[in-house]
Amino acid sequence: MSEQTIQLGHGGGGLMSRDLIQSEIVTRFGGGMLKGLPDGATLPMPAGRELVFTTDSFVVQPLEFPGGTIGDLAVHGTVNDLAVCGAVPRWLSLSLILEEGLPLSTLRRVLDSVKRTADDCGVSVVTGDTKVVARGQCDGVYINTSGIGEKMDEFDLSAGRVSPGDHILVSGSVGDHGMAVLAAREGIRITHGVVSDTGPVHRLVQASRPFARDVKFMRDPTRGGLASVLNEVVEDQAAGILLNEAAIPFSSGAKGVAEMLGVDLLQVASEGRMIMIVAASASEAVLSAWRSLPEGRDAARIGVVTDKKGRVILETLTGGHRLVDVPRGELLPRIC
């Protein structure tokens, strides 16, 4: 293509659209089902297997931040949603909303990161869509990825199975993604070196598979952070949660930015972490399996399930206790 930025005509369904799709999408994703560009992808189904279906739109700003781009964030986000539902991620759709004037070089870097991340996660982009809106009607690129995975039979996941004595595990430091994006936006990244944790959790799920019957709940703590996920678990349940602040892994970079801005890291999004609630008897085995993976190297047991109905309590470093609240509104807009 001769144009070096996205034009409205790239979204019109005519020759310019076809050129864009051929040169940027088919070259990257057209090896398989996407080749003939049908309106939909036909997927072979293994007999009698349940599927998991999920969707996420991504509007993160900036499009590129320390540790990742909107492209790998989208793939990880959808892969992770499938994984925490107990599914093996298989197929993704990729739908782009592009702003007129977007540099093609930016689009290419984003698509490269989608491709690289999908390959790393073992998922295929099989169908897609591209729209273009005029300048000022979106902010560079918005991406929707929907995903389909094959449910693993072993897992029986539900907040209702969580009971006092169960252990709360986390696969690594929390809040890095939110702090990295915020720092990039505020121009403070150089001082503190905080890097997004954007990454996949499906290998952590695979590693837990031998202990599946002792796994009661899993979730990746995105918007609203650890605080939102744990409060959601115990909402309307007979159980509560006691967290041990000393045991929660935080990176020094995220801590630095959070302190500077007065933000509670428990309420900040991660994009490549797993929270799992397991029977106490399986806790060490799961942690040890996780720690054998790079993405689980800093895994830790951070708390226990209690009988304090519906309450999430933090035992602080100084031995005090405080309630862990769900944030009300928006701490950090456009974090994912």
Tell me which residues in 234-293 interact with a second copy (CB under 8 A).
Answer: 267, 269
**Distance of alpha carbon 221 from alpha carbon 271, whole angstroms:** 7
Shortest distance (Å) from residue 12 CB to a second copy: 3
Footprint (CB under 8 A) of a second copy, residues 155-214: none
The bridge status of strand 124-133 relative to strand 87-99 is parallel
Which one of residues 69, 73, 119, 144 is an interface residue with a second copy (CB under 8 A)? 144
Of 93-101, 199-207, 288-296, 316-324: span binding a second copy (CB under 8 A): 93-101
Which one of residues 17, 163, 206, 306 is an interface residue with a second copy (CB under 8 A)? 17
| C-beta separation of 256 from 194 below 8 A | yes
Q: Which is nearer to a second copy, 297 or 334 (CB)?
A: 334
Our finding on whether 219 is near a second copy (CB under 8 A) is yes
Count Cβ atoms below 10 Å from residue 284 Cβ, excluding itself: 12
SS (H, E, C) 205-257: HHHHHHHHHHEEEEECCCCCHHHHHHHHHHCCCCCEEEEEHHHCCCCHHHHHH
Count Cβ atoms below 10 Å from residue 32 Cβ, excluding itself: 11
Q: Supply angle C-alpha 243, 229, 160, rounded to 5.
A: 90
Q: How many residues bind a second copy (CB under 8 A)?
A: 82
Our finding on whether 55 is near a second copy (CB under 8 A) is yes
Shortest distance (Å) from residue 191 CB to a second copy: 26
Which one of residues 149, 172, 253, 303 is an interface residue with a second copy (CB under 8 A)? 149
Footprint (CB under 8 A) of a second copy, residues 95-124: 95-97
The bridge status of strand 141-151 relative to strand 51-58 is antiparallel
Our finding on whether 5 is near a second copy (CB under 8 A) is no
Q: Which is nearer to a second copy, 151 or 209 (CB)?
A: 151
Rg from Cα positions in the chain:
21
Q: Which is nearer to a second copy, 9 or 164 (CB)?
A: 9
Using alpha carbons, select from 91, 274, 57, 64 the residue that is nearest to residue 169. Answer: 274
Footprint (CB under 8 A) of a second copy, residues 316-335: 326-334
Shortest distance (Å) from residue 205 CB to a second copy: 12
Using alpha carbons, select from 186, 299, 320, 174 the residue that is nearest to residue 242. Answer: 320
Footprint (CB under 8 A) of a second copy, residues 122-141: 126-129, 131-134, 136-139
Shortest distance (Å) from residue 308 CB to a second copy: 20
